[in-house]
Chains A and B, each alone.
Chain A
């Protein structure tokens, strides 16, 4: 009995083949990477890729500890993180694979359509608590956020909240999909999601960054022509030393086929 077990273990250890390419990180980029990997696998059947989510923070943390080859991120790598890599004698290479418009969404029954950045900041930091304060019904505002590991969380904080901290009791959902589900079920809800996640169950808010002069809706066109103010790049980060390992896949993503997939998922191609 023991002999059989030993043989099995030896067999498994022998199959220690070339390690799979690991891609970890942002839940925003996740659907894109998953589709790219799916498509890549059809034409490059010898490759092995594993895709995992968890949030941009997870990806970059894994990059720093060497447990992933590519970190997908919806926020730029922080200065401190770059320095950590530097200390270990490594360097992070940054590739932009797509652009993403960040949509602020509410329940479809909510009459409010226009909000300024200042109002959004006040709502998410807890200073405005009721929809009637921004022209809606007398309804408690229920803001939803991503978890702290999310790049989307960080980007929204830096870009829309001007680096203020989110309000204390904000609902914290483990993934964007959960935010979409909750907002579609909750009348007073408001949250932020990548444009690719927009669907008929929730309603997008038109945002103004010029104090109410113009309100722009989130869409691929408005992101492309730069009129929509909340657009961010989506990144792949990898350690410079692993360039030869990750190059083929990254080139695929940046190729015409790969960029077509970007559009299909709902992001904006790098062009």
Chain B
């Protein structure tokens, strides 16, 4: 019987060891899955998979960037001259248009006549650029040239200034508007939350009486526990109209509103961590200062704060981390326009909001799907850096010796 129990105990202890590893395994899995999908973006062709661009061979254009393709199909550029071709008007042809010209019967069973018909159109129009599925394209025909399509480059993603993931034919996956939007909203939020949070932390650790502290700590924990979506609802119904009216803006959904909301959400983090740091200042240091004739206030700003600066910095960093990762609240109040942010009082789009808003419709495995995973990877890396930074900072302790 004792033998059996020993075995059972060994098994359980083995289980315990494995459980210890669970969080490390989880992080590993997250990194693997996110990264694997995200990296796939750079091997995806710049136009939708299975499609290509075809021009007439007489057209000597050979290279188009994704931005060029977008401008052509948006009719922002009308002449081939822009791309070192002839000075002729560009005729844009989208695959779906063939169905307006020919009926289903004329295209043959299983669309067998489709490539021919498409080929005719291209040959007849020397200035045409056609966006066609490779399967039905008249690629073998003389007189028709397929434009080489590059894969989405790292530059396109990290340096691109436009995020238009469903543009046809070539979607634009520029990270910059999203990254800048995220940073703008989060940093301004901390600018609001820091003085307020620090002030309250000082109040709690130095000024408040026992009873007040007993009342305020749970209150702040409550503020921390309010779900993001409830903050978002509050922001949508209360803050947005207020911001719109008080600042006279054309619209209340702005980065500014997002920052206000995020500031409130990051407050509890900043307050608790900063307050903890300040309370941990040793009595000896405090009393030394007071003994030297400093007032309480002077002690605070000359002694306690510098002493707890590592804890306060950790608080700021953690607050930023909280703000950057927020999804629902931001989604509901910032207007979500994917533009390079020019002003705090315009709409902006953050990385988490983008993922939440677009993930549902991105077909699994497509370029859009991969780009969202890449966004997720970047978000993960940012918060990892923040997490590690906060830990490193808070470990640094100043000398107590004088």
Direct contact of A and B (CB under 8 A): yes
Residues of A bordering B, CB below 8 Å: 54-58, 60-61, 64-65, 79-81, 83-84, 125, 139-140, 142, 147-149, 163-165, 168-174, 178, 181-182, 185-189
Q: Do residues B331 and A174 form an inter-chain contact, with CB atoms below 8 A?
A: yes
Among the 9-residue stretches B26-34, B145-153, B268-276, B360-368, the one with 4 or more Cβ atoms under 8 Å from chain A is B360-368
* A149 x B361 contact (CB < 8 A): yes
Contact A188 B358 (CB under 8 A): no
Known pairs A79-B96, A171-B251. 12 more at Cβ < 8 A? Answer: A55-B360, A58-B360, A61-B361, A79-B95, A147-B336, A148-B165, A148-B358, A165-B73, A169-B337, A169-B339, A185-B240, A185-B244
Which 6 A-B residue pairings sit nearest by Cβ, starting from the closest? Answer: A57-B361, A149-B361, A58-B360, A148-B166, A169-B339, A54-B360
| Alpha-carbon gap, A148 to B96, bound state (A) | 19
Q: Answer yes or no: B266 CB below 8 A from chain A CBs.
A: no
> By the criterion CB–CB under 8 Å, are A165 and B70 in contact?
yes
Query: A170 to B332, alpha carbons, bound, how many Å?
Result: 15
Distance between Cα atoms of A56 and B240 in the complex (Å) = 28
Complex: A174 Cα to B347 Cα, angstroms:
14
Residue numbers in A under 8 Å from B135 (CB-CB) = 83
Contacts of B337 in A (CB 8 A): 168-172
Residues of A near B349 (CB, < 8 A) are 172
Would B336 and A172 count as touching, CB distance under 8 A? yes
**Smallest Cβ distance from A2 to chain B, in angstroms?**
10
B252 interface residue per 8 A CB criterion = yes
Could you say which of A57, A58, A168, A178 contacts B162, with CB atoms under 8 Å apart? A168
Residues of A within 8 A of B70 (CB): 165
A182:B253 contact, CB within 8 angstroms: yes
Report yes or no: A172 in contact with B335, Cβ–Cβ below 8 A: yes
Contacts of A164 in B (CB 8 A): 74-75
Contact indicator per residue, chain B 47-89, by CB within 8 Å of chain A (1) or not (0) = 0101100000000000000000010011100000000000000
Given the known inter-chain contacts A80-B50, A147-B357, A165-B70, please indicate yes or no for A61 contacting B364, CB distance below 8 A.
Answer: yes
User: Chain A's interface: helix, strand, loop or mixed, by majority?
Assistant: mixed
Max chain A C-beta neighbours (<10 A), residue from B51, B74, B94, B236: B74
Q: List 9 A-B contacts (CB under 8 A).
A: A60-B363, A64-B363, A125-B74, A139-B250, A164-B75, A169-B346, A172-B349, A181-B236, A185-B244
With the chains together, A147 CA to B165 CA distance in Å? 11
Question: B16 interface residue, CB < 8 Å from A?
Answer: no
- With both beta carbons as reference points, the residue of chain B lying nearest to A143 in the complex is identified as B337
Q: Do A61 and B331 contact each other (CB < 8 Å), given the known contacts A165-B164, A169-B347, A186-B251?
A: no
Asked if B253 and A174 sit within 8 Å, CB to CB, the answer is no
Contact of B357 among A79, A142, A174 (CB under 8 A): A174
A187-B167 contact, Cβ under 8 Å, with A80-B48, A165-B70, A169-B347: no
When distances are taken between beta carbons in the complex, the residues of chain A under 8 Å from B240 are 185
How far in angstroms is the closest Cβ of chain A from B50? 7
* Interface check B133, CB cutoff 8 A: yes
In this complex, what residue of A is CB-closest to B337? A169
Q: Is residue B198 contacting chain A, with contact meaning CB distance below 8 A?
A: no
Q: Is the CB of A182 within 8 A of B251?
A: yes
A63 nearest CB neighbor, chain B only: B363
- Decide if B250 touches A148 in the complex (CB within 8 Å): no
Contact B335 A147 (CB under 8 A): no
Interchain CA distance A173-B240 in the complex, whole Å: 14
- Considering the complex, give the chain B residue whose CB is closest to the CB of A24: B360
